[in-house]
A and B are shown apart, each in its own frame.
Chain A
Amino acid sequence: MNVAVMKTKAEQAISENFEAVAEKLPGSEAVKARRAEAIGAFSGLGLPHRRIEEWKYTDIRANVKEIFPSAIHDAARITIAELIVALGPLAHVDAHRIVFVNGHHRFELGDLANAEGFKVAALGEILASASEDVSAALATTPEGGDAVEALNTAFMTDGAVVTVAEGVTVAKPLMIVFVRAGAHAHSVTVRNSLMVGKNASADVIEAHVVLPGASADAQLNTLTEVTVAKGAMLIHAKVAVDDGKALHLSNCDVTLDADATYRSFQFSTGLGLARNGLNVIFEGEGSKIDLSGAYLARHSEHIDTTLVVDHAVPRCESRELFKGVLDGHGRGVFQGKIIVRPDAQKTDGKQMSQALMLSEDAEFDSKPELEIYADDVVCGHGTTVAELDADLLFYCRSRGIPEKEARALMIESFIGEAIEKVDNEQLRDALAAYAMQWLGRSVRG
């Protein structure tokens, strides 16, 4: 819908911000042209608002009043010890690491020793040094991209570019860590690119964490582009943990070739206003995806999960399971769209979204959607929302479990069902630890 609206203060600030930093952003002339094009596209679109169907429940225009300065050439220096503190339970996950602080690569914090079979590079360096073609190719706004993706192209500073060579199975996971630090409010824009070659297999963990003592106000825009080639497999986890005020706009665009597998898990907690977009397109037959996630929201946090799974070719399978726990004035949004194109016969798609509400003021909005143009398909979706089951609670109490513990037990088992989907055991334990921390502060007797 085209609604002509006056530009808000925030929208003006974004354009002014771009003018101010455009020259300092990395990239060749071709990249600069792409950035200018993207900011132009954004000016036409404006910040997403509730009159746009996809943003019905998450009105960025109404909620974002102020734009923080872009963290360009940010001087925040952190030590390995500080990084470990910021990572919290994630520090126990055995993985290669590439680390970005406020959207800038910090070589000294990374750990890529003995990393075999894959190449990891920093996008900032590629944009600045590589040939025009390569860097311009990395600086495109995805087809059909919205205002948030356009902003990503305009402002992106850095990110990980990961290439897994054909036929390689990478044993140890790679963790891409984005740390937020510094006492000043700022906005960070990063982009990752994950390319898994034919018959290869890899495990990537994307972590967005915050250093204790950092300003609670922050704005993050992240985009991860994933390509999984024929017969390949990628396990991709995204963990976002923050202090309860940050704006977190995230997109992940996945393209799968034939017989490929993509397994994804998204964990979000402590995000002031978050949008986790996940768009998957099947381009080759016989591929499989499993998308799942868990989110925990309290106070006035708002977590939006929006999926679009496009079955463009026959014989593909998709599975989705998302679970959320909402406390205080916390609000959860789930939008899941499964499209089955006219020739995509033998499609098998299942989707489930569940929310548990712990307080009277919590809110959950769900819009699972099926758009099906082929007949030989099995597709279904389900969504439920409820508070803790009084009968179950009574049963636990009748067995001598105090109410507070019983409640915690039930919430743990509810969220645990989703966390179980995580393949990496150490990561699973880390996420369970985050969930327990959250519960410890949330459950009332």
Chain B
Amino acid sequence: MAAVQETIDQVRKIDVDQYKYGFETLIDSITAPKGLDESTVRFISAKKGEPEWLLNWRLEAFTRWKAMTEPTWAKVHYPKIDFQDLYYYSAPKSTEGPKSLDEVDPELLETYKKLGIPLREQEVLAGVQGSRVAVDAVFDSVSVVTTFKDELKKAGVIFCSISEAVREHPELVKKYLGSVVPQSDNFYASLNSAVFSDGSFVYVPQGVRCPMELSTYFRINAKQTGQFERTLIIADKGAYVSYLEGCTAPMRDEHQLHAAVVELVALDEAEIKYSTVQNWYPGDANGKGGVYNFVTKRGDCRGHHSKISWTQVETGSAITWKYPSCILRGDYSRGEFYSIAVSNGYQQVDSGTKMIHLGKNSSSRIISKGIAAGYSQNTYRGLVSAHRKATNVRNFTNCDSLLIGDKCGAHTVPYIEAKNSSAHFEHEATTSKISDDMLFYCRQRGLSSEEAIALVVNGFVRDVLQQLPMEFMAESQKLIGISLEGSVG
């Protein structure tokens, strides 16, 4: 985790187009040939030395994918993706990155500085060559990781890449992979199942409270593994784990399409807290380029009294299509979803959650805050449903949208399905703009209008920010300010 120095520089105005430079580095990698067919899937599997069963699993997913059509129901518009025009396996090793920080876009560095990211971490984020080696040797946080690894081992927690898990713990992977998001779940999940490159694997054994927050950020060398990440987290009976994904700093990332899958399994009385901060390249000020983030995230509260909590701060990507969901199978299980989605420029966000109540006395809570600025479109789409046999289930949903500027759009599309009379569902949604009175008051106290907006917006999203782990919270506050730069004036 980036060590945050509180309040460095006051946020200063920079262009929305904060990624203008530095993203034209071509990937030159040991790759599978362009395009996707069965041989690509075999190639990936062979390259990773996977066992027969996993190859077959991938091939089955591929067969299913071929029969599927791309979903079009989301409120996002983009040119049709040519799936034969992509590389499905590109080992990151041969990336030609900048040789040192001097070659990196100064504006990007400025952004890092504003976020208070230590110099060496900046190197890693900007993809400076050789920095991965430096990571192991120099990085404070990484030496910490090594220490942590011992500690995790002592506690019995397995935390490794999914490829490693396939080799070391095949019985666990075999048992849980695809058990929450099946191969045929949806178009992008099937694609991911066929060609996933790598990702994280976590197993917390029975009764163990994971002694620290786990983060992908620790395994920075596993980053850049490509567009198709797959994460699998299992909390056995009575276990607890908190997992952080992503990074507040803008990632240097050339991939256009990201189709990741995250599966969480919580057994009896287990708890998983999953936090995401996503700040990928949103495209330039004219809406050109940017990452398509089509992610399937789902948690299965399989045991009684289990709990899964999703927290997300979404500020990046040109298009976000993401619905972290909870299947509340166990009696007395609980699902939570806290989300902040900020869109600016020409970004399009269609995000939300599903709370599927199958177990008796299960409960869920949804707090979603959407902020739209510039020419962006920001949609909340969610489902809350109670199964016929799920008695006494509860849900509370609150979706608020804030509009900054008259060229953006904020939409709310909730689905509420109660098939049981003892279900208590409440849903409320509001949309408004920042009141002129509030802005006037702040400005009259000497704040610039951008500072005032950052202040008001941070107040607006406070409920969600509080759910984030401490370090993330402070960084996210600044990140939201930066994301909204250029939205007024």
Contacts and interface: CB of A to CB of B under 8 A. Distances in A.
Interface of A: 1, 53, 326, 342-343, 345, 355, 357-387
Contacts of B219: none
Nearest to A383: B427
Contacts of A358: 421
A382 B388 CA distance: 23
Nearest to A57: B417
A236 B158 CA distance: 66
B425 A357 contact: no
B403 A372 contact: yes
8 contacts: A367-B413, A372-B403, A372-B431, A381-B412, A381-B427, A381-B428, A383-B425, A385-B418
Contacts of B73: 53
B418 A363 contact: yes
Nearest to A366: B416
B418 A365 contact: yes
B430 to A, nearest CB: 4
A363 B409 CA distance: 32
A374 B406 contact: yes
A385 B425 contact: yes
A375 B433 contact: yes
Interface in B392-447: 401, 403-433
Contact of A367 (B388, B405, B416): B416
A224 B409 CA distance: 32
Contacts of B423: 357, 385-386
Nearest to B426: A384
Contact of B424 (A365, A380, A385): A385
A384 B429 CA distance: 12
Interface of B: 72-73, 388, 401, 403-433
Contacts of A374: 403, 406
Q: For the complex, would chain A's binding face be called helix, strand, loop or mixed by DSSP majority? A: strand
Contacts of A368: 412, 414, 427, 429
A317 B431 CA distance: 15
B409 A386 contact: no
B426 A387 contact: no
A385 B422 CA distance: 9
A93 to B, nearest CB: 34
Contacts of B429: 368, 370, 380-382
A377 B431 contact: yes
Contacts of A343: 406
Contacts of A384: 424-427
Nearest to A345: B406
A379 B431 contact: yes
A374 B407 CA distance: 7
A353 to B, nearest CB: 9
Contacts of B418: 355, 357, 363-365, 385
Scoring A366, A374, A377, A385 by chain B CB atoms within 10 A of each residue's CB, the highest score goes to A385
A237 B433 CA distance: 35
B428 A370 contact: no
B463 to A, nearest CB: 17
Nearest to B405: A375
Given A357-B421, A365-B417, A382-B427, A370 B433 contact: no
Nearest to B433: A375
Contacts of A386: 423-425
Given A53-B73, A380-B429, A385-B416, A370 B421 contact: no
A365 B415 contact: yes
B395 to A, nearest CB: 10
Contact of B428 (A1, A345, A380): A380
Contacts of B388: 361
Contacts of A342: 406-407
A413 B406 CA distance: 42
B416 A383 contact: yes
A25 B477 CA distance: 68
A366 B404 contact: no
A387 B413 CA distance: 24
- Among B421, B428, B432, B433, max chain A CB count under 10 A is at B421
A302 to B, nearest CB: 13
Contact of B416 (A326, A365, A370, A376): A365
B156 to A, nearest CB: 44
Contacts of B422: 360, 387
A213 to B, nearest CB: 34
B415 A367 contact: yes
A392 B400 CA distance: 31
B411 A369 contact: yes
Nearest to A374: B406
A358 to B, nearest CB: 7
A368 B416 CA distance: 9
Nearest to B431: A379
**Which of A358, A372, A382 has the largest number of chain B CB atoms within 10 A?**
A372
B324 to A, nearest CB: 20
Given A363-B419, A375-B404, A375-B406, A370 B411 contact: yes
Nearest to A357: B421
Given A375-B403, A375-B433, A386-B423, 13 more contacts: A342-B406, A358-B421, A365-B416, A366-B414, A370-B412, A372-B401, A378-B430, A382-B428, A384-B424, A384-B425, A385-B424, A385-B425, A386-B425
